[in-house]
Amino acid sequence: MNLILSTSFFSFLTSCAAFQSTPAARLPTRLSLSNERIKASGCGIPTVRSGDCLLFDPEVEGKLQGTGALASRIKAGSAYNLPHDATIIEYNGASVPHSAEILDAQHWLEYLDEGSDLPLNFAKPNNPVTATVLARTRIIADDAPGDIQHIILRLPEGMHYVEGQSLSVIPSGTDAATGKKHKPRLYSIASTRYGDILDGNTISLCVRRAEYYDPATGLPDPAKKGVCSNMLCDSNPGDMINVAGPVGKTMLLPENPNSDVIMIATGTGIAPFRGFMHRLFMENTVARHMFGGTAWLVLGVPTTGGLLYKEEFDAMQKNASPGSLKIDYAISREMTNEIDGGKLYVQHVIAQNAVEFFNRLDNGASCYFCGLKGMMPPILETLEQVANANGIDFDSKLKEWKANHQWHVEVY
């Protein structure tokens, strides 16, 4: 059995009477008193002195079930010796049960989202650091509209992030209109904290090239192209990019590993959810093995050729345990909805699965939205219509979800 003790829990255990040479005076617990006696004492609630282990003794009520092993180890500290009859299993491959699978789990960055260790602002936009382009590739078919690139950057030593955060990219040069340095552009991070090459020192972005097409000619106008997105989409391995961050606490995965995770994305809004899903279904981490909920992805794109990371998601569905991963695609130019027979968008997928959507949120699911800001009005309108049809006050319900930190929106 492996025991992982936090500093606070260790302090609690060492203060217990079981680990002290002189037992502390024991006071009665509320459980040992009748309600009448409590009322008779003026409704005061009897307390338990710290360290008495009366309400909970980890030796008796914990997994060690009174063996004394935990108390002995903590009391003896570094001088502890294993009992002569202790069973030691050597993981040399010979003594491991044939049915067991031993994995080299990724673990060295698991501390990043614990308490005050959440990485924020390793660098700020007014004093950025340099990342190096390692690779770049187009990830949509030639017949899909636009250009979307997957870009991998190597970060400076010590710069880390967690799933759901964003990276600031600062274009080189100056703004022709103002003569000042370009403002930073925020991009949702598309990889887990370990990066696509699992070294804990890289980051991936999913970037759509911003272009303006002249309505008269139908051709792109270079003078109006997006400065930052075109810089990234034209970058080559070895190029140096100024970055800052990471930033963001809004889109983090829920702390409860048994919570359902609902992800609604349009286009490059898939970025944070790719990181979520790699963490929950692909990497050998405690987070993956502990996940006991259902992840539900709804991704909206215009054409099949524009489906982002579909091969990866197909692999995840094979990896996932039954019922733990559900994926719905809304391909607007190729699919029709069941409501009015028009094009299928993400809001129609939600409406067609409205009972499941509301039930999951009412049971504690966390719902995330990411994509162009124009996605939210029709989604909210659809949800309100569904709620009204079922006698639900949607405004109150939405306030409830937000108050419970179940509603997470990141649009641009």
Residue 297 and residue 80: Cα distance in Å, rounded?
A: 50
pLDDT for 11: 46
CA distances from 299 to 262, 309, 310, 325 (A): 11, 11, 10, 14
User: Which residue of the set 80, 212, 213, 412 is catalytic?
Assistant: 412
pLDDT for 212: 80
Instruction: State pLDDT tens for residues 61-84.
Output: 554 444 556 666 667 766 777 666
User: Which residue of the set 161, 187, 194, 345 is catalytic?
Assistant: 187
pLDDT for 289: 87
User: Which residue of the set 188, 191, 235, 366 is catalytic?
Assistant: 188
Read off the tokens for 338.
């069941």
Asked if the domains at 115-247 and 261-411 fall in one CATH topology, the answer is: no
370 a catalytic residue: yes
DSSP single-letter state for residue 96: S
Per-domain residue ranges of the chain: 7-79, 115-247, 261-411
Given the candidates 3.40.50.80, 3.40.50.970, 3.20.20.140, 3.40.50.10860, the CATH classification of the domain at 261-411 is 3.40.50.80
Instruction: State pLDDT tens for residues 31-58.
Output: 444 555 545 555 555 555 555 565 555 5
pLDDT for 224: 79
Contacts of 164 (CB under 8 A, 6+ apart): 189, 248, 250, 251, 252, 253, 272, 275, 276, 368
Which residues does residue 185 pair with via DSSP β-bridges, in sequence order?
A: 169
CA distances from 389 to 217, 346, 378, 398 (A): 46, 19, 16, 16
Question: Cis omega before residue 246 (within 30°)?
Answer: yes
Residue 146 and residue 226: Cα distance in Å, rounded?
A: 13
User: Which residue of the set 228, 345, 366, 410 is catalytic?
Assistant: 410
345 a catalytic residue: no
pLDDT for 116: 76
187 a catalytic residue: yes
pLDDT for 214: 78
233 a catalytic residue: no
CATH match of 115-247 with 3.40.309.10? no
110 a catalytic residue: no
Which residues does residue 410 pair with via DSSP β-bridges, in sequence order?
A: 370
pLDDT for 360: 97
Q: Which residues of the chain are modeled with pLDDT < 70?
A: 1-74, 77-78, 82-97, 100-104
Residue 73 and residue 79: Cα distance in Å, rounded?
A: 8
pLDDT for 345: 96
How far is residue 64 CA from its own chain's centroid?
Answer: 33
Q: Which residue in this structure is represented by tokens 């996940």?
A: 291
Choose among 212, 206, 226, 230: nearest CA to 371.
Answer: 206
**What pTM value is reported for the model?**
0.75
